[in-house]
Structure 1
């Protein structure tokens, strides 16, 4: 697998616009199969430096909704990758920069796409962290500095970069009321494998 350098860049207002364009495609294609589409991760927080890769969660209400959603996303050019060890969150990879194929020929910016079961820990994690950061500018500044420091320290080690952010993230999630067992799961999932 190709090793990519971790690059954290200043916030870009185009990220929100790109999310809206992508979400419109998903809504048009998925219709009532989804209960919502959320822009999550660092690119969803105004002012927060981030890796320039959008994180998008498509919400479903029950596991039985997953197979038809997978079929639609595969028609758009995504590849279903399974839950990658995170229960309730299914990951989808892009086959090329033209995905999603909406007929426009657009080359889309990098993004991670997930289908999340409503109420799953991963979705709660994404939404509670995003919502907290959107309301707390000082936390955004602290998190931005941390991300930049970790990217400089671990430019070619995504596992260590992610693990280095975990204590900051779980402290916020604990403050927002996330259960202790969920915080332990998040910490374990973010542990760097050496």
Structure 2
């Protein structure tokens, strides 16, 4: 990943409230663009029960294809979201909120349903949900890396990369 990110790395124990937070954010997205999208998926570590995580919800807003992306982008901009491009990840378009809301922090991506970014998010999430030993190992790795790279989120993300890739290689063998 080439994008330099800022901030302190903070990994906390799993919180059951994350599911409810996702559902609130999903409702806002569906209300805004539900007729244009295929679905809204809770991805990332907060979507895996029992997994320690940075307390930030990751959301994939799934579209049928890039044909509908301009309309989705327009709808999201009307409720205060700014398109940031793909941030170096093919097949995923990042959006940031430009307003204060009552939700916990979240990252939102618009992804085509057959896009590599979305398919990898789902494959990784589902693998972890089905493999408690991987959840334990990944959680321990994240806690250790958060301590090691407390003020360097880019190094934290890069250090997790091999673990994530090993899971995706496992999934792709099946």
| TM-score, normalising length: structure 2 | 0.93
Classify the secondary structure of the residue corresponding to 2:34: helix
Classify the secondary structure of the residue corresponding to 1:46: coil
Equivalent residues in 2 for 1:28-177, closer than 5 Å: 28-98=31-101, 107-177=102-172
Deviation of residue 7 (structure 1)? 0.3
| Structure 2 unaligned spans of 5+ | none
The question of whether the paired residues in 1 share the 8 Å contact of 2:83 and 2:95 is answered with yes
The correspondence for 2:23, drawn from 20, 24, 31, is 20
Classify the secondary structure of the residue corresponding to 1:87: coil
Matched residues in 2 for 1:86 and 1:127: separation?
15
Matched residues in 2 for 1:153 and 1:87: separation?
29
Deviation of residue 3 (structure 1)? 4.3
Classify the secondary structure of the residue corresponding to 1:176: helix
| Structure 1 unaligned spans of 5+ | 99-106, 179-194
Deviation of residue 46 (structure 1)? 0.3
Matched residues in 2 for 1:141 and 1:78: separation?
35
Deviation of residue 96 (structure 1)? 3.2
Classify the secondary structure of the residue corresponding to 2:19: helix
Deviation of residue 154 (structure 1)? 0.4
Stretch of structure 1 that moved more, 54-63 or 27-36 = 27-36
The question of whether the paired residues in 2 share the 8 Å contact of 1:97 and 1:109 is answered with no
C-alpha RMSD of the superposition:
1.7
Classify the secondary structure of the residue corresponding to 2:9: coil
- 1:188 corresponds in structure 2 to none
Matched residues in 2 for 1:167 and 1:5: separation?
21
- 1:187 corresponds in structure 2 to none
Query: Structure 1 runs of 4+ off > 4 angstroms?
Result: none
| TM-score, normalising length: structure 1 | 0.84
